[in-house]
Chain A
Amino acid sequence: MNTVEVKNVTFRYRTGQGVDDVTFQAAPGELLGIVGPNSAGKSTLLRLLSKVVAPERGRILIGGRDLCTLPRTALAQRVAVVPQEFHVAFPFRVAEVVLMGRYPHAGGSAWESDRDRSVAQAALEATGIPDLAARRMDELSGGERQLVSIARALAQEASILLLDEPTAHLDLRHQGIVLEILLRHHREGRGTTILVSHDLNLAAEHCDRLLLLARGRVRVLGRPEEVITEEHLVPAYGCPVTVERHPVSGRPRVQGILNQRGNHGTVSHHSPDAREAGRSE
């Protein structure tokens, strides 16, 4: 039921960005990372998987069912998305926002049931924020907001979780908290998790397999040690990198080299497409 199949999918925005003939599969229980430089098509892929945009060519199957024929609420029962940024327009309380995750199950009926409430309560506890339940969203810090966003996604009880840079705007402590919650949920739930990240080292450390996208195309799909290599990363990012092993986990670790100035930085911050970083993918 939790298999995600993407078959020869092509989609382009009017700006020309998008994805081109992408094919991959995520198996039940797998943690798949989608990595690549800015405007490689990572977020586009997530928007395709959550039916925000429809493919021009190719098919997407969720648990064997074509996304085109799957009603939106039925899809939302299977696929939950944690977006990159989480802003709520009016001063809703945390509990109300988490309960919004029950919409695909409540089916638009006037008020959520007791079961909806207990699921929302469990989601608040799983993310460690039951004390925030009565707080207003506009009073929260960025890290707390992201935890609410995850709790809302967990309340959806979907077996497939799509994460778009879930730690991008967080400080070190909250990065750790968020990552821990997500990994624990993934291990316990046996669901399928797809993680889009700029952070190659984070993705290499935790994902079962990685999909490297560049300019909308799949460059390579495989285990982290097969993907995080100079052979694949240098052409994808257009800059020199060094790859080494993590001393503890043995997973690959990468660093970009800025040869002009001679200083070092991680690849994600110095990609050749940095000038395009402001644009959405």
Chain B
Amino acid sequence: MKAGVTLPEVAGWRSVPILCLAALLLIGLLLSVMVGSFPVAPREAVRALLTGGANDPVVAVVRQIRLPRAILAGMVGAALALAGLGFQAISRNPLADPTVLGVSSGASFGVVIAMLLGLAGPFGNPAVVTLFAFAGALLAAVSVYAIAQVDGRLPITTLLLSGVIVGLFFTSCVMLITALLAANELQGVIFWLMGNLAPTGGRTLAVLALVLLIGAAVLARQAARLNLLALGEEQALQLGVEAERVKRSVFVAASLITGAAISAAGSIGFVGLIVPHAARLLLGPDNRRLIPAAALLGAAFLILADLLARIVMAPAELPVGVITSFCGAPLFVYLLRSRRGGESI
């Protein structure tokens, strides 16, 4: 019977698209170590990545300059995509994203506070800066949700408005603090604020990797329950989901990985909006597929966006946030105008 076959086809794990995304990530990684002022042929790049060599200039460029940058971009992309996915699932709205909700601004505020206290920079501990960014992100996220809540519901209009307000407020705080910073620190701050994927050292990558793993694990653990939240909180409760507990843990995890991404690479907008949307088009809204897909696609997307940012105005470099915002802003408008995104939840 035809109907008997449709059920397993529609619902369940799908390996092929996930493997395609993994392949896309590998291609992006390879391209990003090949392209630049010193071009490297594909075979050379693979050789440099796999074997290495002591005094080989190709190996030096690929392994010490381009690969760390690509890894940073990949992890930041995955982190921002997962954060967006988490915020979207708990607010039941595809428009929620760390940038739109002002959570990124809150994290930036945390980072500049750490800078003001002299905790950031080459001698600082990236874990401490991440902690500050996390605190800022959490503060912003809690404020946005507290302001937006009306009778226990989160209407999309008030959610977006409070996101704008909280984001503007924390942006002003960032500007206030940059005004307090000494002139010699200023350039680094501005460079970081614009979104900067220049490699920052192994410790930053390690902290980001650890936080990303923790955040992804929390999200993956809650994936099935996040699906049920799409029915609304009351029905999730009636199906046996402790909705409040699920929302809280995802909320904290999403703020945490936003903080880690921002403290490592500055504010890069809209990744959390673009990537989950594309992943949803590809794989449907089931979070058990969407979480690995968004992580892979987010990594590939930001690696490729960074590649583009490096080559469009070569030898000058465009901030990667310009590319992501140029993609994200039109998508936001489209989602807002389309029936599903604009609906109040």
Residues of A within 8 A of B (CB): 47, 50-52, 71-77, 79-81, 83, 86-97, 99-101, 103-104, 106, 108-112, 117, 120-121, 124-125, 130-131, 133-134, 138, 156
Contacts and interface: CB of A to CB of B under 8 A. Distances in A.
B238 A93 contact: no
Given A52-B234, A91-B340, A104 B239 contact: yes
A81 B240 contact: no
B240 A124 contact: no
A64 to B, nearest CB: 20
Given A50-B238, A89-B230, A110-B224, 18 more contacts: A51-B237, A52-B234, A72-B240, A73-B240, A83-B238, A87-B232, A89-B93, A92-B227, A93-B11, A96-B227, A100-B231, A103-B239, A110-B223, A110-B288, A111-B13, A121-B3, A125-B3, A131-B3
Question: In the complex, which of the residues B94, B285, B339 has the most CB atoms of chain A within 10 Å of its own CB atom?
Answer: B285
Contacts of B339: 138
B237 A72 contact: yes
Nearest to A92: B285
Nearest to B94: A90
Interface in B276-294: 280, 284-286, 288
A93 B12 CA distance: 11
Interface in B294-345: 339-340, 345
Contacts of A125: 3
B190 to A, nearest CB: 38
A100 B231 CA distance: 9
B248 to A, nearest CB: 16
Interface of B: 3-4, 6-13, 92-94, 223-225, 227-232, 234-235, 237-242, 280, 284-286, 288, 339-340, 345
Contacts, number: 115
Nearest to A162: B238
A96 B240 contact: no
Contacts of B93: 89
Nearest to A133: B6
Nearest to A104: B240
B306 to A, nearest CB: 29
Given A88-B231, A100-B227, A117 B3 contact: no
A188 B32 CA distance: 64
B133 to A, nearest CB: 29
A207 B301 CA distance: 58
Contacts of A94: 10
A125 B339 CA distance: 30
A90 B285 contact: yes
Contact of A111 (B10, B12, B237): B12
The 6 closest A-B pairs by CB, nearest first: A130-B3, A90-B285, A76-B240, A73-B240, A89-B92, A104-B240
12 contacts: A79-B238, A81-B235, A83-B238, A89-B230, A91-B340, A92-B230, A97-B231, A100-B228, A100-B239, A103-B228, A110-B288, A124-B7
